[in-house]
Amino acid sequence: MSRDTTSRQPTQPSSAANGAKSDDVARTKILLLGMRRSGKTSIQQVLFNNLSPRETLYLETTTQSTKHYFDTVIPLEIWDCPGDVTLETLDAPLAQFSTVIFVIDIQDLYQQPIQKLVDFVITAYNECPNLNLEVFVHKADVLTEEYKIENFRHIQARVLSDLSYAGAEYETIPINFQLTSIYDHSLHDAFSRVLHKLIDSLPYLEDLLNVFCTNSQANKAFLFDTASRLYVATDASPVDPPVHNLCSDYLQTLNAFGPLYKSVSASPLRMRTVPSDHSDSPPPSAPASPPPNPPAAVTSNPNSRFASPLASPSTAPLSAHQSPQVAQQPLPTPPMPHPPHFSSSITSSTVRPSNHDAQGNGNGNGHAPPSGGKPLFYPCAAASLAPTAAGAGTTLTYHLITPKLALLALIPTGVFQARRGLVEYNVVFFREGVQEICEVESDARKVTA
Ligand SMILES: Nc1nc2c(ncn2[C@@H]2O[C@H](COP(=O)(O)OP(=O)(O)OP(=O)(O)O)[C@@H](O)[C@H]2O)c(=O)[nH]1
């Protein structure tokens, strides 16, 4: 991260590219504001630069506004500002930001930080009434559960009463308060909710997740950004924090083994020569059945494109052997250690080439197939959460959807065991839908010179 340690006056913001920086896309801008030491840089670094929370202890004070780039479903530009920045010294019009996140330390119950927040809200509202205003009441981990809630309510009540005291027109400004900490999952959950408001195609992603859940009998499904572990969309059922935390932990475990997947999948030679040992694999002579054409438009109803495990008996004979996703010669199952947070065992972990992408189609999120025509690979994995009785409990599944996004779903183990091929068949169509949405997003954001 680049910082100017000599100048204390913010001038032109500097850039630090975590994702690929490119000037040819219109980025959604998020501004991080707050008092000194409130935790702005830590939030940005933990979420988007994979910094471990403990390492934030060694972060230096920010002296100059710094832009960070991050590419997910939408390209983001996150501005980390010094604690003493004002809207006048920001050197950028507020109107160019989609969201401002004001970070306030949960122990800052004094007049100054709250007054700074209130002043900022009033100025921002006068300048840009439609600006999305978020307040992260941060470092929640330092207090016990009881004091945490008390301080959170106190800060919220003080801000709202000061605003109404400032004028009747400020009483109704929509401000979203969230409790956050870099030491638990609350920060990821809070930032995911901020992100949802910025993704225009969110309803389409949610539709795809709802259809996937219905047809695969999944209790819950998330579409996660794999690098930041923010969920960019989820199905219509409410988010239960323990379920979100479980999925996030599982993703973190799998991320830790990402390089293993890469080294295996990077070698097309190995893909052709290593014999299969996976029970779901088709016989070598199994014909590769290409999937149907991708949906004509993002808005098309995807319902008819999913096969339901609960559908009429005519759909039941569909199995993994018929799934277009598994028709290539399979790779061996890489060894997976027991994940630390699960009392369960990994039931499977495979690296499978997607037929669809082997043909060079449907690479979403603006990712062309790697040069040299190598296909992209989509690892999948599953962990049984209650392995005691056969078929009982829930299975947590992971399927990579695009190079940056993964589907995590909770499926009853009985369904997953009996209809796994069909679940994976549904994933193929889910992937096509998401990739198409990402392509539309990426096309819409291209800036032509
Ligand atoms: N306990 C706890 N400490 C945190 C949390 N987030 C950040 N910190 C700590 O707060 C201190 C300040 O964090 P920074 O990220 O540098 O804060 P900042 O707002 O960027 O500070 P300036 O650059 O001075 O504006 C560091 O020691 C972090 O480790 C949190 O969620 N919980």
Protein residue whose Cα sits closest to atom 27 of ligand 1: 57
Stretch 53-77: mean pLDDT: 93
pLDDT category of residue 88 using cuts at 50, 70 and 90:
confident
Residue 108 lies in a domain: yes
Protein residue whose Cα sits closest to atom 11 of ligand 1: 37
If asked whether residues 286 and 229 sit together in one domain, one would say: yes
Protein residue whose Cα sits closest to atom 1 of ligand 1: 139
Q: Is residue 305's pLDDT more than 50?
A: no
Stretch 12-28: mean pLDDT: 62
Report the DSSP beta bridge partners of residue 103.
Answer: 34, 136
Q: Is residue 285's pLDDT more than 70?
A: no
Protein residue whose Cα sits closest to atom 29 of ligand 1: 57
Protein residue whose Cα sits closest to atom 6 of ligand 1: 39
| Ligand 1, atom nearest to 180 Cα | 31
Residue 2 lies in a domain: no
Residue 101 C-alpha to ligand 1 middle, in angstroms?
15
Protein residue whose Cα sits closest to atom 14 of ligand 1: 39
Which of the listed residues 180, 196, 212 is the one where a domain comes to its end? 196
Q: Is pLDDT larger for residue 143 or for residue 111?
A: 143
* Total domains in the fold of the chain: 2
Stretch 12-22: mean pLDDT: 51
Q: Is pLDDT larger for residue 414 or for residue 383?
A: 414
If asked whether residues 173 and 208 sit together in one domain, one would say: no
Protein residue whose Cα sits closest to atom 9 of ligand 1: 39
| Ligand 1, atom nearest to 62 Cα | 23
If asked whether residues 191 and 214 sit together in one domain, one would say: no
Stretch 134-142: mean pLDDT: 95
Stretch 55-71: mean pLDDT: 93
pLDDT category of residue 376 using cuts at 50, 70 and 90:
low
Residue 145 C-alpha to ligand 1 middle, in angstroms?
20
Stretch 4-9: mean pLDDT: 35
| Ligand 1, atom nearest to 42 Cα | 15
Report the DSSP beta bridge partners of residue 431.
Answer: none
Cβ density class 311-342: b for 16+ within 10 Å, e for less: eeeeeeebbbebbbbbbbbbbebbebeebeeb
If asked whether residues 185 and 225 sit together in one domain, one would say: no
By most ligand atoms within 8 Å of CB, the mutation choice from 42, 138, 183 for ligand 1 is 42
Strands 132-138 and 175-179: parallel
| Ligand 1, atom nearest to 83 Cα | 25
pLDDT at 325: 36
Spatial separation of the C-alpha atoms in residues 430 and 216, rounded to whole Å: 11
Residue 166 C-alpha to ligand 1 middle, in angstroms?
30
Residue 318 lies in a domain: yes
Residue 41 C-alpha to ligand 1 middle, in angstroms?
7
Q: Is residue 363's pLDDT more than 60?
A: no
If asked whether residues 308 and 421 sit together in one domain, one would say: yes
pTM of the model: 0.76
pLDDT in tens, 229-267: 999 999 999 999 999 999 999 999 988 876 665 655 454
Q: Considering the chain, what is the average pLDDT of its residues?
A: 75
Q: Is residue 76's pLDDT more than 90?
A: yes
If asked whether residues 399 and 426 sit together in one domain, one would say: yes
By most ligand atoms within 8 Å of CB, the mutation choice from 56, 116, 138 for ligand 1 is 56
Q: Is pLDDT larger for residue 256 or for residue 10?
A: 256
Residue 9 lies in a domain: no
pLDDT in tens, 162-191: 999 998 889 889 999 999 999 999 999 999
If asked whether residues 103 and 242 sit together in one domain, one would say: no
pLDDT at 382: 81
pLDDT at 344: 38
| Ligand 1, atom nearest to 59 Cα | 16
pLDDT at 86: 83
Question: What is the CATH number for 344?
Answer: 3.30.450.190
If asked whether residues 175 and 220 sit together in one domain, one would say: no
Looking from the CA of 423 toward its CB, the CA atoms found within 13 Å total 28
Spatial separation of the C-alpha atoms in residues 45 and 1, rounded to whole Å: 9
Do residues 404 and 72 lie in contact, with contact meaning Cβ atoms separated by under 8 Å? yes
- Range of the structural domain that residue 190 is part of: 14-196
Range name among 136-145, 207-216, 262-271, 345-354 with the lowest pLDDT average: 345-354
pLDDT at 337: 34
Give the binding-site residues of ligand 1, using a 6 Å CB cut-off.
Answer: 34, 36-42, 56-57, 59, 61-62, 82-83, 138-139, 141-142, 181-183
pLDDT at 84: 86
Stretch 430-440: mean pLDDT: 94
Q: Is residue 418's pLDDT more than 70?
A: yes
Spatial separation of the C-alpha atoms in residues 25 and 9, rounded to whole Å: 29
Which of the listed residues 173, 196, 219 is the one where a domain comes to its end? 196
If asked whether residues 310 and 245 sit together in one domain, one would say: yes
Residue 53 C-alpha to ligand 1 middle, in angstroms?
9
Residues of the chain above pLDDT 70, percent:
67
Q: Is residue 440's pLDDT more than 60?
A: yes
pLDDT category of residue 192 using cuts at 50, 70 and 90:
very high
Q: Is pLDDT larger for residue 280 or for residue 307?
A: 307
Residue 133 C-alpha to ligand 1 middle, in angstroms?
21
| Ligand 1, atom nearest to 81 Cα | 25
If asked whether residues 249 and 299 sit together in one domain, one would say: yes
Residue 187 C-alpha to ligand 1 middle, in angstroms?
13
pLDDT in tens, 331-358: 333 333 333 334 333 333 333 333 333 3
If asked whether residues 175 and 281 sit together in one domain, one would say: no
Residue 449 lies in a domain: no
Which of the listed residues 196, 228, 247 is the one where a domain comes to its end? 196
pLDDT at 190: 97
pLDDT at 338: 37
Q: Is residue 379's pLDDT more than 50?
A: yes
Question: What is the CATH number for 113?
Answer: 3.40.50.300
Range name among 30-44, 61-75, 109-123, 127-141 with the lowest pLDDT average: 109-123
pLDDT at 22: 52
Angle subtended by helix axes 241-256 and 258-265, to nearest 10 = 50
Range name among 116-130, 229-243, 275-289 with the lowest pLDDT average: 275-289
If asked whether residues 64 and 28 sit together in one domain, one would say: yes
